[in-house]
């Protein structure tokens, strides 16, 4: 992303049912030498990048793939949210720069976001593999990531691109309602509150964010398409791109993703 707002493994173990698990990501959040728990016991680790427009459920799929494949979910969005709650002395140099830019109301530049990821190269070496969510978002970031992984001799196995028609994306996002107090998110049809307009958790008032209005979504999608089209062509040329339809339940989409990954093995 130019700015930030707040060869396949032969492992057949993806067919097995894996109990939900959350792998510690202390190194990802702290930019330390701490490694994630090594829980990948069979075959080669999976190293994946996820692409997808706002509203396709990319974060949900990253969590499910974390559970099914035992690969660490490395999210730049989670990284920013965690950093906003850290003391400045606990933040990495790049994160301190990013937080300062955000406090000034500026967008975090491409170079700073890349430096945040580079600081966490140990997480990319994790023996459990990774699911990288939210990065890269520009061709420059993709090329930088490619060079780093080549230098570290870490193979990227696939880049999953979740696809959904624009009309469906608009329906998903425009139906979202957010609590003004606790920030819980509901959906007027998919996950409605028990009482219309009232948060189930805290009783706060639900509202529609400006960027969830149809006209704003259309603008966001146009910007996403402009920035992502070169990325898709980049990974397609490398033979890494895997297109997955983001239709159905989250479990349906996850099963479709794993089937697509298996077909490449």
Active site residues: 58, 137, 176, 209, 220
Cα dihedral angle (76, 82, 84, 85), rounded to 10 degrees? 180
Are residues 119 and 30 in contact, defined by beta-carbon separation less than 8 angstroms?
no
Helix (H, G, I), strand (E, B) or coil at 12: coil
The DSSP line for 26-94 is HHHHHTSSPPPP----SSPPEEEEEEE-TTS-HHHHHHHHHHHH--EEEEHHHHHHHHTTS-GGGS-HH
Instruction: Cite the DSSP H helix spans in the chain.
Output: 26-30, 58-69, 76-83, 93-103, 110-119, 121-124, 139-152, 166-174, 214-237, 250-264
């Amino acid at each position: 992303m130019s700015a930030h707002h707040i060869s396949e493994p032969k492992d057949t173990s993806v067919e097995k049912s894996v109990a939900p698990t959350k792998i510690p990501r202390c190194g990802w959040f702290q930019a330390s030498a701490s490694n994630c728990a090594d829980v990948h016991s069979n075959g080669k680790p999976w190293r994946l990048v996820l692409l997808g427009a706002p509203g396709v459920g990319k974060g949900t799929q990253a969590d499910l793939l974390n559970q099914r494949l035992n690969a660490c979910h490395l999210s730049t969005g989670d990284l920013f949210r965690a950093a906003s709650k850290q003391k400045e002395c606990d933040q990495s140099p790049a994160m301190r720069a990013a937080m300062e830019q955000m406090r000034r109301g500026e967008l975090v530049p491409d170079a700073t976001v890349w430096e945040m990821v580079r600081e966490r190269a140990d997480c990319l070496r994790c023996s459990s593999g990774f699911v990288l969510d939210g990065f890269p978002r520009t061709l420059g970031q993709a090329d930088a990531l490619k060079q780093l992984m080549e230098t570290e001799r870490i193979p990227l196995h696939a880049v999953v691109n979740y696809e959904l028609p624009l009309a469906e994306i608009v329906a998903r996002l425009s139906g979202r309602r957010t609590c003004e107090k606790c920030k819980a998110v509901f959906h007027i049809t998919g996950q409605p509150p028990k009482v219309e307009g009232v948060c189930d958790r805290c009783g706060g008032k639900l509202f529609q964010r400006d960027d969830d209005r149809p006209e704003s979504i259309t603008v966001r999608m146009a910007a996403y398409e402009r920035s992502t089209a070169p990325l898709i062509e980049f990974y397609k040329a490398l033979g890494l791109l895997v297109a997955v339809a983001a239709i159905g339940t989250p479990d349906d989409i996850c099963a479709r993703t794993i089937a697509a990954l298996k077909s490449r093995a």
